[in-house]
Chains A and B, each alone.
Chain A
Amino acid sequence: MTKFIVNGREVDLDIDPDTPLLWALRDELRLTGTKFGCGIAQCGACTVMLDGMPRRSCVTPISMVEGSEVTTIEGMEGPEIAAVQSAWEAIDVPQCGWCQSGQIMSATALLQQVASPSDEDINNAMAGNVCRCATYVRIRQAIHDAAKTLEG
């Protein structure tokens, strides 16, 4: 049995402890906002917060998160995620949408760390998130817009 907290709720999973967190979230907990893109931490579609820091859930076995707090896109709260999602909607960032949960998780984590990120900060923080539709122009703009909203 592996116990951890997901979106504020304690879960207790009786599955192979080597199971990647990604598949535990999706297959067992039906939290489908976290996506599978590559399985080897190359695309960022599976990004979740692990004890408050962004983490690729596809290469994180559940045995490693025993006792930890996991937050998925469904459970995100706070001013940063709200500002990011509003900015995403305002300039219509998504195309196919598959990578966007991961993009939004990484963008939110960036704004939690850096209030007013430069283009270079954005390049560094978002480098692990692939968008095959190449919505990058708008992702960059939306992060800047969200930062401005948060500054008030």
Chain B
Amino acid sequence: MTAFQTSRRGFLAAGAGLMLSLTLPLGRARAQTAATGPFVPNAFIRIGTDDTVTVMIKHLEMGQGPYTGLATLVAEELDADWAQMRAEGAPADNGLYANLFFGMQGTGGSTAIANSFMQMRKAGAAARAMLVAAAAQEWGVPAAEITVSAGQISHAGSGKSSGFGALSEAAASQPLPEDPPVKDAKDFVLIGTDRPKLDTVAKSNGTAIFTMDVYRDGMLTVVVAHPPRFGATVTSVDDAEALAVPGVEMVRQIPSGVAVYARNTYAALKGRDALVVEWDDSAAERRSSDELFAEYVTAAEEGGVTVEEDGDLAAFDGAAQVLEAEYRFPFLAHAPMEPLDAVIELADGKAEMWFGSQFPGFDRSTAAAVLGVPEEDLTINVLLAGGSFGRRAQGSAHIAAEAAEIAKAAGRDGTFKLVWTREDDLKGGYYRPMTLHRLRAGLDAEGNILGWENVVVNQSILMGTPMEGMLQGGPDATSFEGSSGLPYVLGAKRIGWARMESPVPVLWWRSVGHTHTAYAVETFLDEVLQAAGKDPLQGRLDLLPPEATRERGVLEKVKEISGWTGPQRDGRGYGVAYVKSFGTYVAEVVEVEDRGGVPHVSRVWCAVDCGIAVNPNVIRAQMEGGIGYALGTALHDRITLGAGGEVEQSNFHDYPMLRIGEMPAVEVAIIASSADPSGVGEPGVPPLAPALGNAWRALTGNKQYQLPFSGAIA
């Protein structure tokens, strides 16, 4: 049986054996830290006397599979049996558990496997070498004659063999190998094969523990009344009626609003309903989405700053036809199924948190600063997260900060669970930025593309946050990624970006800039190809330069598996889109039916090239899930500000989620590759909406220049 542990206690009960504190090279790290420090200490593996191998997973498990993926990498080089593998979330520690691409602990950008690929294999290989050395010593045989397979260490000559557990204590005293060799890809046993995830059983019987499932003695549940408009602050609070609710213990004003502390969740919610709060809107966002878009249109006309330029736009002057389009995308909420939450406990000047955090090190330093305690006196236990899609990775660390503010404002030791309701989540900001694209393309009489211009208008995700330094003074590429750096030969090019400002906080949302750039670019390109008299799929292939082999590979594969014959067949529309995001190449074909003017997607074909496929099962799952996530959003979802600036949506009745009856059949083909692995958590998302837009236009002639499909924005 495989299982996983969410508590340290479970591991310790397994017996203290080999705890491997490794000093490992950074391997293929590309972060600046790689150049400045040759080694970073790491602690990833514990082998119990009961033969269990527990891997401390430095990435948040929010459904994308890093518990299983990183454990697979260790098990491969350790030659462990898969059944003995366990996974446990690593605590907050930027030094030990940095994402090698970020230089700090963090999960995002579909980097978990990519940054860990060599690091975790080295960790496994080092542990294996120490176990072999221990066996050689105990048995008095040469280490070179010892073999390891499926968790068994053997010496053929003497007939001796042992599991890992019996040798774990002896292995702990062996010298740490500095640069243990790793396997050739041809010798992989586990990498490249399907296996269920380590956390599947616990997630199928209700025993998996998430942040909201943490209960501590004497714990109070806390909900916060946030201002109805972004940027507003508290003027006055009348808490008399709230305090009269049985179970409500106290009410405190904190920087983000008014916190109600109660003995249970229902009392906290009832108490919050009974608060009378007056808000100061003088610095608040009072513009509606419509008013904001009017300003975005003006900014697009002004052209923004140039972020990519190639050739001379005078090429448009000789065009036989010029196509233009303006696209509008709404704010979007991530809406993870587990609403935002955090548990914090103060005792004797120290603090401990339980928290599904994507940036645990950053959340730790932020919470410690709020509490005024040294960082080393604040522990974060990183738990499973019930979805995130970027929402739990905050440049402002606002959830950690709010939890710490609550604990501080309580004025005493104790445990406090911060709970956001679904309404808090949907009205609470940190949205995918609302965005406007203005595109223009020029064609000659033969249908060759002479020029391409795209101006992107939106708020910056990083500017104005503590993470602005990542930009090193440049424009925020997360705002326009995917509009620039296209693989197609498009003639003279200019990509512009206009940054808008608002008190509405924005954030990366599963696939970030590609959420809108992919739609604008790939649907506009489809129109251009049609104007040129080209087939959408062959037309894309024809625009690729010879060196674009991986782009070509996924387009040709999706053409093959979808049986592509063109954009219409038997009363159904077919659309294709191709997007490279986070290092991964994905092409998707959508089949759409017209059900009374409403698009119904019946089938989706997906070809993905993510380099070496560590666990094909997880890759297929992420493509399936990414497609469903993108489809529900494209069909239904928008967050809008009404007149006066208040958010108009509040829960799943007016921010609808995709339902099972709307989910298409999905066929995924994974391109065989020996390239280093890239991510899969996000790249399934971007091509879906444009492939749908293209299929719908092919079927109905309707051009959808704004999302969602279900209605006009605002």
Binding site for B on A (CB under 8 A): 15-16, 18-20, 23, 26-28, 30, 32-40, 42-43, 45, 72-74, 85, 88-101, 104, 122-123, 126-127, 129-140
Q: Which chain B residue shows the least CB distance to A96?
A: B63
Contact B203 A127 (CB under 8 A): no
Of B63, B203, B264, which is within 8 A of A19 by CB? B264
Q: Which chain B residue shows the least CB distance to A134?
A: B628
B51 at the interface (CB under 8 A from A): no
Task: For the complex, give the distance between the alpha carbons of A144 and B199 in Å.
Answer: 23
B652 at the interface (CB under 8 A from A): yes
Task: For the complex, give the distance between the alpha carbons of A16 and B385 in Å.
Answer: 30
Give me 4 other A-B pairs in contact (C-beta within 8 A), A16-B266, A26-B265, A95-B64 excluded.
A37-B337, A93-B204, A127-B660, A134-B625
Known: A43-B337, A94-B197, A133-B629. A32 touches B209 (CB 8 A): yes
Give 16 A-B contacts (CB < 8 Å), ordered by A residue. A15-B266, A16-B270, A18-B266, A27-B265, A27-B266, A39-B421, A39-B423, A74-B205, A89-B204, A96-B337, A97-B208, A126-B660, A127-B659, A129-B660, A133-B625, A134-B625
Smallest beta-carbon distance B657→chain A, Å: 4
Known: A39-B422, A98-B386, A134-B632. A27 touches B221 (CB 8 A): yes
B387 at the interface (CB under 8 A from A): yes
Q: Which chain A residue shows the least CB distance to B270?
A: A16
Residues 658-679 (chain B) with a chain A CB within 8 angstroms: 658-661, 663, 665-666
Central interface residue in B207, B387, B626, by most chain A CB within 10 Å: B387
B200 at the interface (CB under 8 A from A): yes
Task: For the complex, give the distance between the alpha carbons of A126 and B205 in Å.
Answer: 18
Task: For the complex, give the distance between the alpha carbons of A88 and B205 in Å.
Answer: 10
Of A99, A137, A138, which is within 8 A of B337 by CB? A99
Mask, B242-276, CB within 8 Å of A = 1, is 00001100000000000000001111001000000
Q: Which chain A residue shows the least CB distance to B653?
A: A42
B339 at the interface (CB under 8 A from A): yes
Task: For the complex, give the distance between the alpha carbons of A127 and B656 in Å.
Answer: 12
Residues 326-343 (chain B) with a chain A CB within 8 angstroms: 335-339
Contacts of A32 in B (CB 8 A): 206, 209, 212-213, 215
Smallest beta-carbon distance A36→chain B, Å: 7
Contact A130 B206 (CB under 8 A): no
Task: For the complex, give the distance between the alpha carbons of A123 and B600 in Å.
Answer: 14
Task: For the complex, give the distance between the alpha carbons of A106 and B295 in Å.
Answer: 47
Q: Which chain B residue shows the least CB distance to A74?
A: B206
Task: For the complex, give the distance between the alpha carbons of A117 and B203 in Å.
Answer: 24
Of B206, B388, B625, which is within 8 A of A135 by CB? B625
Smallest beta-carbon distance B431→chain A, Å: 16
Contact A16 B246 (CB under 8 A): yes
Smallest beta-carbon distance B683→chain A, Å: 15
Contact A137 B206 (CB under 8 A): no
Contact A132 B387 (CB under 8 A): yes
Q: Which chain B residue shows the least CB distance to A100?
A: B203
Contact A130 B663 (CB under 8 A): no
Contact B652 A130 (CB under 8 A): yes
Smallest beta-carbon distance B658→chain A, Å: 6
B651 at the interface (CB under 8 A from A): yes
Contact B666 A137 (CB under 8 A): yes
Of A39, A42, A100, A139, which is within 8 A of B660 by CB? A139
Task: For the complex, give the distance between the alpha carbons of A127 and B657 in Å.
Answer: 11
B617 at the interface (CB under 8 A from A): yes
Contacts of A138 in B (CB 8 A): 621, 624
Known: A16-B247, A85-B204. A133 touches B387 (CB 8 A): yes
B44 at the interface (CB under 8 A from A): no
Contacts of B207 in A (CB 8 A): 33, 74
Contact B265 A132 (CB under 8 A): no
Contacts of B270 in A (CB 8 A): 16
Contact A127 B661 (CB under 8 A): yes
Contact B621 A95 (CB under 8 A): yes
Mask, B618-647, CB within 8 Å of A = 1, is 000100111111011000000000000000
Task: For the complex, give the distance between the alpha carbons of A20 and B626 in Å.
Answer: 33
Q: Which chain A residue shows the least CB distance to B197?
A: A92
Contacts of A89 in B (CB 8 A): 196, 200-201, 204
Contacts of B421 in A (CB 8 A): 39
Contact A37 B339 (CB under 8 A): yes
Contacts of B336 in A (CB 8 A): 96, 98, 132
Contact B196 A98 (CB under 8 A): no
B62 at the interface (CB under 8 A from A): yes
Residues 413-442 (chain B) with a chain A CB within 8 angstroms: 421-423
Contacts of B266 in A (CB 8 A): 15-16, 18-20, 23, 27
Mask, B324-362, CB within 8 Å of A = 1, is 000000000001111100000000000000000000000
Smallest beta-carbon distance B684→chain A, Å: 10
Contacts of A40 in B (CB 8 A): 422, 651-653
Contacts of A133 in B (CB 8 A): 63, 337, 387, 625, 628-629
Known: A94-B197, A123-B661. A42 touches B652 (CB 8 A): yes
Of A74, A93, A126, which is within 8 A of B200 by CB? A93
Smallest beta-carbon distance A140→chain B, Å: 7
Known: A20-B266, A35-B338, A72-B206. A97 touches B660 (CB 8 A): no
Contacts of A37 in B (CB 8 A): 337-339, 422
Contact B386 A97 (CB under 8 A): yes
Smallest beta-carbon distance B465→chain A, Å: 25
Contacts of A18 in B (CB 8 A): 266
Task: For the complex, give the distance between the alpha carbons of A32 and B208 in Å.
Answer: 9
Question: Which 6 A-B pairs have CB atoms at the shortest separation, nearest pair first?
Answer: A134-B628, A33-B206, A98-B386, A97-B203, A96-B63, A95-B63
Known: A33-B207, A42-B651, A97-B208. A28 touches B264 (CB 8 A): yes
Smallest beta-carbon distance A23→chain B, Å: 5
Contact A73 B200 (CB under 8 A): no
B384 at the interface (CB under 8 A from A): yes
Task: For the complex, give the distance between the alpha carbons of A102 and B625 in Å.
Answer: 18
Contacts of A72 in B (CB 8 A): 206
